Amino acid sequence: MSATATYAFQGKTILITGGAGEIGKATAHRFAANGAAIVLLDINETKLTEVAQGLKDCGSPVHTFRCDVTSADEVKQVFAAAVERTGQLHYVFNNAGYQGAFAKTDEYPEQDFQKVIDINVVGVFHVLKAAAQTLRDGGGAIVNMASHAGVDGPPNMLAYAASKFAVIGMTQTAAKDLAPYSIRVNALSPSLIGPGFMWTRQTELQAGVGSQYFDSDPKVVEQQMINSVPLRRLGKLEEVANGVAFLMSDEASYITGFNLDVTGGQ
């Protein structure tokens, strides 16, 4: 899955939730560069517009829709509108998510726990169901955004870890349920990806928890976290996008129910 690998996405359309975020943007550029039409969904319309503007030079059609994935009705309506505008969807990157608070289990805020579950589990379910209903006549591929937090729960991230374990479980079940429709369902589990807003936020909030696992200085936390990775470096946004592209591609046509753990060798 090198940065130079190309896949045959010409004439195909990919829908990306969380399309205004760092990973959504990188994935949109990856697919547009290989000829796919892009449908971007996000709750932040301003950032959606900015991402769409940045994709103009790729030469691929780009469509944007505001969408709150926690609303089943809104997700259904947006999927229908996307099909009406593009003709057909072939791939869905179920990427919208919320990292949540950083706190010890006995101090974790209940309201934030509910918010994480509403977006990362219920929202992922809404998109997964709408994607399945949309793709079942023609087949296709779905990639759910999980996380290494859903494989090896990190300290001070109770809600996020719970939500991503759930995403991996939904992926495995959906892969079995949707195989008769020639719909492949896989998950992607990045670990430490950066630099960027999410990486900076994570190190700062981990530093503020006051746990035995991390220093109180975010700069020291950065190094502690990077040192936990055998390759001793952060993953890149482009490498995550490459993973999505591989799982959607014909080269992965026999892969379903798989969780690609992008962790730098952990």
Integer Cα distance of 22 and 28 in angstroms: 10
109 preceded by a cis bond (ω within 30 of 0): no
Which pair of tokens denotes residue 25? 């943007």
Give the residues across from 261 on adjacent strands: 189
**From the candidates 7, 91, 98, 160, which is the catalytic residue?**
160
User: Distance of alpha carbon 164 from its chain centroid, rounded?
Assistant: 11
Q: Which residues contact 92 (CB under 8 A, 6 or more apart)?
A: 14, 15, 16, 17, 127, 131, 134, 135, 140, 141, 142, 143
Closest to 112 in 3D by CA, of 164, 163, 187: 163
7 is catalytic: no
Q: Which residues are catalytic?
A: 160
